[in-house]
């Protein structure tokens, strides 16, 4: 038997590095089967898009009412929320986002972007998720993952709060129940600008 220091550690490190991107989309979900998503506000200086123009969405519309792109939502505060049917915290966040949309009718839009793989989900499942969570905002599908590539998604769900001019102002990685109040305050402040 080889001594421990002679094992091919470099091979193990390379293998882990190659597997990490495959696990990343669900690691933060932290509750696809149990527990909250453990949301966190990402400090503005640490969120790569904060302070920059929000990249346009390259998605397919699945269900819901309202704008289906950032260009259509321009002039209102917009939340772009990245979610998946596999994510329990996403299911908890949707009704809270709908409350925000209802409270701020015409001043706030939510664009919910699914990152489900086409091999794992169908349009009907995404529409059913919206129905189960009782939301009417647009459900969009990033089948090609082009939009997800433009927006860092450290945890599921990840949301971006965008101002009326199309600038990303806040980012939230994950979701916890107390986060809804924090996001509501951000939205109110941006609506007032």
pLDDT digits (tens, 9 = 90+) for 71-106: 999 999 999 999 999 999 999 999 999 999 999 999
Task: Enter the pTM of the model.
Answer: 0.77
What pLDDT score does 47 carry?
56
**Residue 143 structural domain:** 4-192
User: Range with the lowest mean pLDDT among 69-78, 106-115, 177-186?
Assistant: 177-186
Q: Is 171 exposed, middle or buried (0-12, 13-18, 19+ CB in 10 A)?
A: buried
SS3 content of the chain, % helix, strand, coil (to 5): 40, 20, 45
Read off the pLDDT band of 23 (50, 70, 90): very low
Q: How confident is the model at residue 147 (pLDDT cuts 50, 70, 90)?
A: very high
State the Cα angle at 99 between 168 and 133, rounded to 5°: 100
- Total domains in the chain come to 1
pLDDT in tens, 124-136: 999 999 999 999 9
For residue 162, give the CATH number of its domain: 3.40.30.10
Residue 164: its pLDDT value, please?
97
**37-61 pLDDT, tens digit each:** 444 554 444 458 899 999 999 999 9
Distant-in-sequence, close-in-space partners of 147: CB < 8 Å, separation ≥ 6: 55, 57, 58, 59, 113
């Amino acid at each position: 038997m080889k001594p421990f220091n002679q094992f091919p550690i470099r091979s193990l490190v390379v293998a882990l590095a190659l597997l990490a991107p495959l696990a990343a989309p669900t690691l933060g979900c932290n509750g696809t089967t149990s527990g909250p998503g453990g949301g966190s506000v990402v400090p503005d200086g640490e969120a790569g898009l904060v302070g920059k123009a929000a990249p346009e969405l390259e998605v397919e519309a699945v269900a819901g009412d309202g704008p289906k792109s950032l260009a259509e939502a321009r002039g209102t505060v917009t939340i772009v929320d990245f979610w998946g049917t596999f994510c329990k915290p996403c299911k908890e966040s949707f009704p809270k986002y709908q409350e925000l949309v209802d409270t701020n009718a015409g001043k706030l839009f939510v664009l919910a972007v699914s990152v489900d793989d086409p091999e794992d989900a169908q349009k009907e499942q995404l529409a059913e998720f919206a129905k189960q969570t009782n939301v009417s905002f647009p459900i969009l599908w990033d089948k090609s993952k082009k939009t997800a590539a433009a927006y860092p998604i450290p945890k599921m769900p990840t949301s971006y709060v965008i101002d009326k001019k199309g600038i990303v102002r806040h980012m939230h990685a994950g979701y916890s129940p107390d986060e809804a109040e924090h996001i509501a305050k951000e939205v109110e402040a941006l609506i007032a600008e």
